[in-house]
Structure 1
């Protein structure tokens, strides 16, 4: 299967690649003829690959290894939902247990806790679960 066989199923507009000298210029020409823009990674971004590889590893371990994908539409829906979970709820060590698009949680003081009630919400058919303090 090549790019012409895919047709309208997937519209590839960009290919992000590193700046390795082994990458032949012929590949760029082939991609340009298919209207795909090649975007080289930043000049001194040695951590870029590791960040992307970590995201893919997390996605695979937490979602794709536990989910049966039916078709491309289903894959897009699942990835979109997981992205929401990852950015709005999932805790990140580098952010001190906060999600990227959510404010950092305030620590609970034991004297103020009379009753601790935790609510659970399943996402993606229960593959991913989110927990929150409820009133």
Structure 2
């Protein structure tokens, strides 16, 4: 369990908090909540063949349809979804 927490903290620092100017505790909590949602659902995982946990079982990893970008944390992180 400790290794999982350490991995999340290291990744959150590298991908999120080190790239933002945090104003206060409330801002930090909001940023970490948004990043935690992205980390748990929208981020690709190697164990899932680079699919995100929120992806459907019939989703093709690189769809031929039009792809739409969704910005998280004001554009710091981008998630891509098909427009089907």
Q: TM-score range by the shorter chain?
A: 0.7 to 0.9
Structure 2 CA distance for partners of 1:108 and 1:86, relative to 1, 3 Å: closer
Q: List alignment gaps of at least 5 residues for structure 2.
A: none
The change in CA–CA distance for 1:66 and 1:106 in structure 2 (over 3 A counts) is same
Bigger Rg over Cα: 1
| Residue pairs, 1:22-101, within 5 angstroms | 48-101=1-54
Runs of 4+ in 1 over 3 A off after TM superposition: 100-105
**1-structure distance, mates of 2:69, 2:59:** 19
**Aligned alpha-carbon RMSD (Å):** 2.3
Deviations 1:87-113 (A, max 9, x none): 221111122223334434533698xx4
Residues 96, 104 of structure 1: 8 Å contact kept? no
Uncovered stretches (5+) of structure 1, i.e. residues with no partner? 1-47
Q: Does 1:128 align with 2:77?
A: yes
What secondary structure is seen at the aligned counterpart in 2 of 1:119? strand
The structure showing larger relative contact order (alpha-carbon pairs under 8 Å, at least 6 residues apart) is: 2
TM-score normalised to structure 1 length: 0.53
